[in-house]
A and B are shown apart, each in its own frame.
Chain A
Amino acid sequence: MRHSTRIAVGPVQFRIGSDWRAPVAALDRLYASYPRDDARPADATVRLFAARPWRRWLRPSVEIGGDFTVPDALPLPLSMGLLAAEMGMNLQVALGWRRHLLLHASAVARDGRAVIMSGESGSGKSTLAALLGEDGWRLMGDEFTLIDPAGGDALAFPRAVSLKNAAIAEVAARVDAARLGPLLAGTPKGDIRHLIPRPDAIAAMHEPARPALLLFPRFGGEAAIEPMGEGEAFVRLTEASTNYVALGEAGFAALTRLVRATPAFGISYPDSATGLALVEQLFAEAVR
Chain B
Amino acid sequence: MADRVYRAAPPETLRIEALGELTVLFDRRSMQTHLMTQPMPEILAVMAGEPCNAAMVAERLATRFDLGGDGDPTPLIAERLAELAAMGLVAEA
Interface set of A (CB-CB < 8 Å, partner B) = 229-232, 234-235, 238, 244-245, 248-249, 252-253, 256, 259-260
Contact = CB atoms under 8 A, between A and B. Distances in A.
- Please report whether the interface of chain B is mostly helix, strand, loop or mixed according to DSSP: strand
B24 A248 contact: no
A101 to B, nearest CB: 13
A50 to B, nearest CB: 40
B20 A252 contact: no
A229 B19 CA distance: 8
B22 A231 contact: yes
A235 B20 CA distance: 12
Nearest to A260: B19
Contacts of A235: 22, 35
Interface of B: 15, 17, 19-22, 24, 26, 28, 31, 33, 35
A238 B24 CA distance: 12
Nearest to B24: A234
Contact of B26 (A231, A249, A259): A249
16 contacts: A230-B22, A231-B19, A231-B21, A231-B22, A231-B24, A231-B35, A234-B24, A235-B22, A244-B33, A245-B31, A248-B31, A249-B28, A252-B24, A252-B26, A252-B33, A253-B15
Nearest 5 CB-CB pairings of A with B: A231-B22, A230-B19, A229-B20, A252-B26, A231-B19
A244 B20 CA distance: 21
Contact of B19 (A244, A248, A249, A259): A259
A229 B35 contact: no
Given A230-B22, A245-B31, 12 more contacts: A229-B19, A230-B19, A231-B22, A231-B24, A232-B22, A235-B22, A244-B33, A248-B31, A249-B28, A249-B31, A252-B15, A256-B24
Contacts of A248: 31
A254 to B, nearest CB: 12
A259 B15 CA distance: 16
Contacts of B35: 231, 235
A230 B19 CA distance: 5
Nearest to A257: B17
Contacts of B15: 249, 252-253
Contacts of A231: 19-22, 24, 35
B53 to A, nearest CB: 30
A229 B31 contact: no
Contacts of A234: 19, 22, 24
Contacts of B26: 249, 252
Contacts of B22: 229-232, 234-235
B15 to A, nearest CB: 6
Contacts of A232: 22
A87 to B, nearest CB: 29
B17 A256 contact: yes
Nearest to A248: B31
B27 to A, nearest CB: 10
Contacts of A252: 15, 17, 24, 26, 33
A259 B33 CA distance: 15
Given A231-B24, A252-B24, A238 B33 contact: yes
Nearest to B36: A231
A118 to B, nearest CB: 16
B17 A229 contact: no
Contacts of A253: 15
